[in-house]
């Protein structure tokens, strides 16, 4: 069976990654969210095991030591990390996995899994980002200030990604993200199994050399 793909989504905090990924997960089959470990406290209605596995620093460090994390990074003073087992289990079953991770984590995953697809999400402007983070009203003013400061550094690395989605109108951005995911599923490398099966009905796989 074909392994599932890794689809990495990064972008500054408040760019709309959660909103976009949430829509893609609801609309597309065979797609699962990579639930990361984090030491940050749950925000709003977040539930353990759904948005994140919420653990303390000691447990996080034990998981690093045990080699359980495919990548990890310190972001906004908290640890965040991707579970190797979670990813391998889903992709092994042929399910595509979407990861919402920062630019440092994306860099590590791309080196370990070069076939991973990278998508960067940008807000239409700094001012819009500021407004969205304030309106989200899940963080206090100091946290928002730090997230905006970090956004300026993070957004500079957009060119390391394969695709760019500008999240101005939500519906259009959702369509863009879903189109990218669907097109990765039709890459020749992803379709080789299906192609071989069809080619057999044409007398074999040598038909590519007429
Ligand atoms: P991230 O996951 O990148 O930190 P969120 O998905 O939490 O960002 O989005 C930040 C805030 O902006 C949320 O309140 C969300 O509902 C809102 N938002 C996301 N996309 C749009 C959009 N296209 N237009 C207006 N508001 C948006
Ligand atoms: P938030 O606290 O807003 O949920 O996430 C803060 C940042 O951490 C975001 O940029 C998000 O993409 C990133 N992040 C979430 N999970 C992981 C992870 O497992 N690894 C890394 N490297 N970054 C993560």
- The phi, psi pair for 14, rounded to 5°, reads 95, -5
Report, as an integer, the average pLDDT of 195-207. 85
Q: From the CA of 70, how far away is ligand 1's center (Å)?
A: 27
2-57 residue pLDDT tens:
889 999 999 998 999 999 999 999 999 999 999 999 999 998 899 999 999 999 99
Please tell me the distance from the alpha carbon of residue 25 to that of residue 32, in angstroms, as a whole number. Answer: 7
Give the residue, by CA position, lying nearest to ligand 2 atom 9: 102
Please tell me the distance from the alpha carbon of residue 22 to that of residue 88, in angstroms, as a whole number. Answer: 21
Please tell me the distance from the alpha carbon of residue 120 to that of residue 9, in angstroms, as a whole number. Answer: 6
What percent of the chain is helix, strand and coil (3-state, nearest 5)? 50, 20, 30
- Cβ neighbours around 143 below 10 Å, total: 15
Q: Is the pLDDT of residue 86 over 90?
A: yes
- Domain of residue 174 covers 6-202
Dihedral in degrees, nearest 10, Cα atoms 126, 127, 132, 135: 150
Tokens 């057999």 appear where?
Answer: 200
Q: Is 207 within a domain? A: no
Cβ(4) to ligand 1 under 6 A? Answer: no
Q: Is 103 within a domain? A: yes
Q: Is 209 within a domain? A: no
Q: Is 52 within a domain? A: yes
Within a 13 Å sphere around the CA of 131, how many CA atoms are in the beta-carbon half? 7
Q: Is 120 within a domain? A: yes
pTM of the model: 0.94
The ligand 1 atom nearest the CA atom of 15:
3
Cβ(136) to ligand 1 under 6 A? Answer: yes
Q: Is 35 within a domain? A: yes
Q: Would the CA dihedral through 86, 96, 39, 108 be positive or negative?
A: positive
Q: Is 208 within a domain? A: no
Report, as an integer, the average pLDDT of 112-136. 94
Q: Is 74 within a domain? A: yes
Domain count, the chain: 1
CATH number at residue 133: 3.40.50.300
């Amino acid at each position: 069976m074909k392994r599932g793909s890794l689809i990495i989504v990064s972008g500054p905090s408040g760019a709309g990654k959660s909103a976009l990924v949430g829509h893609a997960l609801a609309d597309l089959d065979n797609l699962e969210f990579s639930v990361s470990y984090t030491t940050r406290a749950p925000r709003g209605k977040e539930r353990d095991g759904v948005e994140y596995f919420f653990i303390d620093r000691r447990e996080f460090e034990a998981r690093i030591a045990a080699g359980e994390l495919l990548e990890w990074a310190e972001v906004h003073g908290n640890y965040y990390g991707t579970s190797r087992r979670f990813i391998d289990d889903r992709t092994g079953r042929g399910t595509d996995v979407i990861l919402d991770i920062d630019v440092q984590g994306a860099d590590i995953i791309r080196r370990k899994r070069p076939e991973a697809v990278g998508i960067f999400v940008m807000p239409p402007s700094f001012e819009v980002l500021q407004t969205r983070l304030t309106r989200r009203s899940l963080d206090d003013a100091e946290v928002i200030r730090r997230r905006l400061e970090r956004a300026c550094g993070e957004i500079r690395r957009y060119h390391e990604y394969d695709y760019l989605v500008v999240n101005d109108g939500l519906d259009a951005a959702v369509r863009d993200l879903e189109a990218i995911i669907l097109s990765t599923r039709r890459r020749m490398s992803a379709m080789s199994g299906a192609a071989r099966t069809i080619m057999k009905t044409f007398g074999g796989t040598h038909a590519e050399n007429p």
